[in-house]
């Protein structure tokens, strides 16, 4: 199964998402803010990142920008209770989910993202030198 990083400042939500994903056989790493999330990703890249958009220290938009040029590319699912923030996030990732969300849509989205093949970032014209 996949290795998934969940970044959210709300501990209860991180725990709930971790338990759901682990029940499906995924390995889950948690981080309480964007800075800790990027450190965790740098230490051991994951197949998928789920990030809240509004957090202290480093927000989800900064996480999205930092992960845009990873090689191989990583899928990032942005989550937020703010519809305006989700609209803005779609300029950085096509994958968004509004809070509060039901567990089944989250699970279906995660399964689709981890099953999708990832092209190399350079083939998308997004190499690290751009």
Q: Three-class SS of residue 37?
A: helix
Q: What is the mean pLDDT of residues 74-78?
A: 96
- CB of 8 within 8 A of CB of 52? yes
Bigger pLDDT: 80 vs 126: 80
How large a percentage of the chain has pLDDT more than 90? 83
pLDDT of residue 128: 34
Q: pLDDT class for 120, splitting at 50, 70, 90?
A: very low
φ/ψ of residue 126, rounded to 5? -120, 50
72 pLDDT tier (thresholds 50, 70, 90)? confident
Cα(90)–Cα(77) distance, integer angstroms: 10
Give all domains of the chain, ordered by start, each with its CATH number.
3-124 (3.40.50.2300)
The SS3 of residue 77 is strand
Quick one: angle between helices 11-23 and 103-115, nearest 10? 60
C-beta contacts of 124-127 below 8 A and 24+ residues apart: 124/73, 126/68, 126/69, 126/73, 127/69, 127/71
Higher confidence at residue 124 or residue 44?
A: 44
What's residue 9's pLDDT? 97
Q: Average of pLDDT values for 16-21?
A: 97
Residue 71 neighbours by CB distance under 10 Å: 12
Q: What is the mean pLDDT of the chain?
A: 90
pLDDT category of residue 69 using cuts at 50, 70 and 90: confident
């Amino acid at each position: 199964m996949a290795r998934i990083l969940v970044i959210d400042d709300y501990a209860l939500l991180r725990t709930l998402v971790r338990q759901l994903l682990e029940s499906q056989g995924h390995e889950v790493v948690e981080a309480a803010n964007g800075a800790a999330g990027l450190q965790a990703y740098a230490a051991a890249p994951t197949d998928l990142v789920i990030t809240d958009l509004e957090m202290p220290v480093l927000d989800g938009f900064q996480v999205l920008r930092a992960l845009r040029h990873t090689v191989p590319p990583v899928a990032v699912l942005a989550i937020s209770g703010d519809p305006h923030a989700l609209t803005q996030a779609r300029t950085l990732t096509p994958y968004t989910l509004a809070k509060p969300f039901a567990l089944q849509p989250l699970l279906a989205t995660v399964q689709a993202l981890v099953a999708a093949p990832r092209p190399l970032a350079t083939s998308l014209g997004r190499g690290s030198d751009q």
